[in-house]
Amino acid sequence: MTISAGRFVEAKWQKSSYSEGNGANCVEMARPGRSVLLRESDAPATVLGAPPARLAALLAAIKEGHLGPR
């Protein structure tokens, strides 16, 4: 689901430990309630939200190579 970022201005966003030193090209995450929110630091107005179980399934599929180029 895509969520209006204005609703989560007060959310505590955490940057990925893999982000560049100057803060560019980062993935940020917040968890204000039951959903996990993700956004890119270069486009903070676009926020993606998912229940934790669905995000965990997505990350597992990525790690297992199911979503990469074939």
pLDDT in the model for residue 30: 92
The stretches in the chain having pLDDT less than 70 are 1-10, 20-24, 68-70
Centre a 10 Å sphere on the Cβ of residue 48 and count the other Cβ atoms it contains: 14
Sign of CA dihedral 50, 11, 42, 28: negative
Token representation of residue 60: 């597992």
Centre a 10 Å sphere on the Cβ of residue 12 and count the other Cβ atoms it contains: 9
Give the strands of the sheet with 43-50, arranged side by side: 2-4, 43-50, 36-40, 27-30, 14-15
pTM over 0.75: no
Do the beta carbons of residue 16 and residue 26 sit within 8 Å?
Answer: yes
